[in-house]
A = this chain, B = another copy of it.
Amino acid sequence: MKSKFRFVYQQLADEIRTSRYEPGSLLPSEHELTDRFQVSRETIRKALKLLSEHGYIQKVQGKGSVVLDFARLEFPFSGVMSFQELNEKLALSALTDVIRFEQQPASSTAATRLDLTEGDPVWAVERVRTIEGERVILDQELFSVAVIPKLTREICEKSIYAYIEGTLGLTISFAKKEIVVEEATPTDQAHLDLHGATHVVVVRSYTYLDDATLFQYTASRHRPDKFRFVDFARRVLQ
């Protein structure tokens, strides 16, 4: 564990997940936690801030930190989760089929999406995800060659994220996503088991690295009945 506040966060998160604190009850006060973990109050507060951002608790001034019902939604916080990670989490039997893999100069739309100049080299990848025997997701992805100089079909068959974070030592940091429903294209119909569905759910995402570099654009096309998105949203006051 790197930092003290992350340790405290982990500890308390585990205790909440394993129901050592009842939903609706209060966590020990910041002062008590200071005693228990032998760290300063600001450090405890950083841990509690994380817990609250991830939907474990809600802080109420003058009262304390209320433990939330963690089970109400399965994944109480949304994140930048790769297909692989999602699979491990759900323990599903999944397969990835690479149906397109090439390097090419960026078209004008591709350049816009990756914040590049037209003609800059990009990787164009299309992958079909088969879950429990059915082809349900079509991922159409663009990667900047400037960020990922080398890429192989084999890497695409496993996990590009694992390659980027493991082998290349880069850190994926955040993503901006948009979710809409669109008519199924002939490509969708060719590569997905749509079972008569006329539309697909499209998740477009722009993924950024640690150093704020935009390196990936993805359109993830889901069969509607196999799509589910969970979000934990704090109110934003302007």
Which of A's residues lie within 8 Å of B, judged by CB?
24, 53-55, 58, 60, 63, 66, 68-69, 72-73, 76-81, 115, 172-181, 198-199, 201, 206, 208, 210-212, 214, 224-225, 227-236
Contact = CB atoms under 8 A, between A and B. Distances in A.
B60 A212 contact: yes
A63 B143 CA distance: 24
13 contacts: A24-B212, A53-B53, A58-B211, A66-B212, A72-B176, A73-B206, A78-B233, A172-B235, A174-B233, A176-B231, A177-B230, A178-B229, A178-B231
Contact of A230 (B54, B55, B178): B178
Contacts of A211: 58, 60, 63, 66
B228 A179 contact: yes
Task: Output the residue of A54, A177, A198, A212 with the most chain B CB within 10 A.
Answer: A212
B180 A227 contact: yes
A63 B66 CA distance: 37
A173 B224 contact: no
Given A211-B66, A233-B80, A228 B175 contact: no
A26 B68 CA distance: 38
Given A60-B211, A66-B211, A212-B58, A233 B199 contact: no
B229 A115 contact: no
A218 to B, nearest CB: 13
A177 B233 contact: yes
A231 B58 CA distance: 21
Contact of A174 (B177, B198, B225, B235): B235
B232 A178 contact: no
A210 B172 contact: no
Contacts of A80: 233-236
Contacts of A68: 208, 212
Given A55-B176, A73-B176, A233-B177, A224 B212 contact: no
Given A177-B230, A231-B176, A208 B58 contact: yes
A88 to B, nearest CB: 11
Contact of A79 (B53, B72, B206, B236): B236
Given A176-B72, A212-B66, A228-B178, A233 B58 contact: no
Contacts of A201: 181, 201
